[in-house]
Amino acid sequence: MTNQIRANSVLPARREDITLHTADGLTLVGELARPESGEPVATLICLHPLPTHGGMMDSHVFRKAAWRLPALAGVAVLRFNTRGTSSVRGTSEGEFSSGVDERFDVAAAIEYAEFHDLPNVWLIGWSFGTDLTLMHGLDPAVTGAILLSPPLRFSQPDHLAAWAAGGKPLTALVPEFDDYLRPAEAESRFAEIPQAEVVGVPGAKHLWVGDAEKVLDEIVRRVAPDVPVPLPRTWDGPIESGDTNAYADRTVAAFADVPVPKPLAD
């Protein structure tokens, strides 16, 4: 039976709750979703938006990635809550640190992927998660990175210079109507990274509401180039429905009027 893939569709995968252990002694909660059979062709480590604005491992693009990409693209998806962040999965220990101590969180996720022999590791940062990617994600174990709605709020020019020198692939997906950084400015800001690809997405906004499918297609196009895109919008196998009610009040939009914290001094 052919089913339409909807926002709450959960396709088959091997899913397990995981815990990450940071070098400064914290335990972080997360989940790893792998293809139901065979080895993944790539691994996504998802770095979520600002937890002070409702960001978490279940923010909708990452939730849909975990629910779909193992089956549709053979990609493993590792999601976790950074320090002090809560979701249905639970609350990670520690407190929000404006991108400073989160360096330990990023390192713990990369280390987990390495230890478990997850292949072809890509960082997928969204909003605050793009700053974490640029600041702390340039690791030998990382193949490259994809940035969703990068505000370039916490990251500094020296972080961009490091990525330029490192030469790793870097793609920025920038909404046409982003609240913080729009395509023309993004082209200018990322110009110092020769290998950076800036992709403007017409009609899209910072939260990617209604555009998750476009985002997933662009991610797969880069991390698993042998997989045809656009990805299927229907599924001919077993399909389940996830409970999205649990996330209704945890969107970034619900916190749109909350002042954005400034970076902490090192």
Is residue 147, in this structure, part of any structural domain at all? Answer: yes
Does some domain include residue 264? no
Is 85 domain-assigned? yes
What is the model's pLDDT at position 253?
A: 44
Which of 2, 19, 96 shows the shortest CA–CA distance to 56?
A: 96
Asked whether residue 248 is assigned to any structural domain, the reply reads no
Residue 44's domain spans which residues?
15-225
Residue 246 belongs to some domain of the structure: no
For residue 34, give the DSSP letter. E
Q: Is 10 helix (H, G, I), strand (E, B) or coil?
A: strand
| 97 closest CA partner among 63, 131, 142, 58 | 131
Spatial contact of 221 and 144, defined as CB atoms under 8 Å apart:
no
Q: What is the pLDDT along the chain (266 residues), one digit of tens a residue?
A: 799 999 999 999 999 999 999 999 999 999 999 999 999 999 999 999 999 999 999 999 999 999 999 999 999 999 999 999 999 999 999 999 999 999 999 999 999 999 999 999 999 999 999 999 999 999 999 999 999 999 999 999 999 999 999 999 999 999 999 999 999 999 999 999 999 999 999 999 999 999 999 999 999 999 999 999 999 999 999 999 998 776 654 544 444 434 445 554 43
Residue 113 lies in a domain: yes
- Closest to 49 (Cα-Cα) out of 60, 34, 37, 39: 60
pLDDT per position as a tens digit, 83-115: 999 999 999 999 999 999 999 999 999 999 999
CA distance 255 to 204: 19
Residue whose C-alpha is closest to residue 49's, from 257, 264, 255 = 255
| Closest to 191 measured CA to CA, from 160, 222, 219 | 160
CATH number assigned to the domain comprising residue 134: 3.40.50.1820
| Whole-number pLDDT of residue 245 | 72
Distance CA 14, CA 108 (A): 21
Nearest to 137 by CA among 98, 109, 106: 106
Instruction: Report if residue 4 sits inside a domain.
Output: no
| Both structure tokens of 252 | 């970034």
Q: How many domains does the chain have?
A: 1
Residue 70, SS3? helix
CB 213 within 8 A of CB 230: yes
